[in-house]
Amino acid sequence: MAFTDKFEPGDYYLSPEGFVVFTEQYLLKRGYCCQNGCRHCPWHYKPGKKNITKPSPSK
């Protein structure tokens, strides 16, 4: 089983450099902020700041 077989369509994409990038869809399903400054963080975490905001409601 490949690493990417564990995810649903739309949970990630591959960057031009070949990295797996998780989408907001996946991060919301995961349910918490890992505080790594993810590109699509729905909690708007920024390294160096101490505040994490709640994700915006889905439209």
The pair of three-digit structure tokens given for residue 39, joined into one six-digit string: 């590109």
Q: Say whether pLDDT at 58 is over 70.
A: no
Q: Is residue 2 domain-resident?
A: no
- Residue 28 domain-assigned? yes
pLDDT by residue (tens digit) across 8-19?
999 999 999 999
Given a cut of 60, whether residue 59 has pLDDT beyond it is: no
Q: Domain of 41?
A: 11-59
**CA 5 – CA 45 distance, rounded (Å):** 28
How many structural domains is the chain composed of? 1
**pTM to 2 decimals?**
0.73
5 domain residue, yes or no: no
Domain assignment present for residue 18? The answer is: yes
